[in-house]
Amino acid sequence: MPIGNVSGDGIRGESKPMLQRRHLLALTATGLAAPGIVMGQGAWPDRPIRLIVPWPPGGSTDTIARIFQARLSEVLGRAVVIDNRGGASGAIGAQEAARSAPDGYTWMLAYDNEATNQTVMRLPYRALEAFAPVSLVATGPLAMVAHYSTPYRSFQDVIDAAKRAPDTIPYATSGVGGLAHVSTTLLQQQGGFGLVHVPYRGGGPAVSDAVGGQVPLFMSNVVIISQHIRAGTLRPLGVTTLEETRHVPGTKSFAQQGFPAFAAPTWWAFLGRAGTPAPIVERMHAALTQVLAEPEVRSRIEEQGADVVASTPEACGTFLAAEIERWGQVIRSANITAAS
């Protein structure tokens, strides 16, 4: 419940509930109310917390969630249980989160698809209205990789082959309308070549086929392919950061390969249900920030190919709004739909 500012000593004329809420905020600010936030007759959290991962196990969102899950449970004093709700490019899990009660017991770790889905799909909710931003957890590069058995030694090799035989070379992504799909569509528009999109139900199934050679190209975040790049099974051809990235050393960005100013970083954001009491959102933000600052957690995430951000809720909301607007324009111009 929002707490308004008061003038003077802020006490005269206030009701007992208002005084209790003001006292709670003061305790929270000093850390004295942690780990439990007093809400009515109980405390938050007083039971397990559900963290929806809107993707199957084995993908990047699931991987990152499981890195910080145990420590977040310890800091909050209650189990944080991951609930994988894959399907429809993250939309099934997001809809489940959007219709949950705003009581602080259901949260979601969103992937970049949450922004693009707002334009690609006809959803029963709007992200900026349904969710309470908590933190931008991490960002990272996308990378186009080729199976080692393919003849593609560079991204230019892909372009040349695609121009010789348009719309015959498949590339996989974790789903329709995600940033991997939309950014690759933009590359094709700017480069004047055509590939065949093969959408999967998530990054886990997609990387399995990419590693097995069932699909020659894969556009993905680095988190789920870094070990396969190091092993030599998948060959990196380009990254979506403006410059080269430490997460894929020696690989040029698309901006350095003839696509000026091209940038499409992927991201993961921790969201709650809109209407969740502000003290609970603040407590969750404080706990998550604490966990993400721990060297072991941070290093494990960054070893996967992402950079920990741990933003404020306000910065997270601003970022999400900007991503929805930016990629919405690309999606509309390319006429990308859920059937693409």
- For Cα atoms 100, 111, 244, give the angle at the middle one, nearest 5 degrees: 165
Per-residue pLDDT of the chain (340 residues; tens, 9 = 90+): 333 333 333 333 444 444 344 443 433 433 434 455 555 446 999 999 999 999 989 889 999 999 999 999 999 999 999 999 998 889 999 999 999 999 999 999 999 999 999 999 999 999 999 999 999 999 999 999 999 999 999 999 999 999 999 999 999 998 888 899 999 999 999 999 999 999 998 888 999 999 999 999 999 999 999 999 999 999 999 999 999 999 999 999 999 999 999 999 999 999 999 999 999 999 999 999 999 999 999 999 999 999 999 999 999 999 999 999 999 999 998 888 776 5
Q: How far apart are the first and last CA of the chain?
A: 42
All domains of the chain, ordered by start, with CATH? 34-139+266-334 (3.40.190.150), 142-257 (3.40.190.10)
Give the span between the Cα atoms of 70 and 72, in whole angstroms. Answer: 5
pTM (two decimals): 0.82
Q: Which two three-digit tokens encode residue 186?
A: 């933009």
Q: 172: how many CB neighbours lie within 10 A of its CB?
A: 24
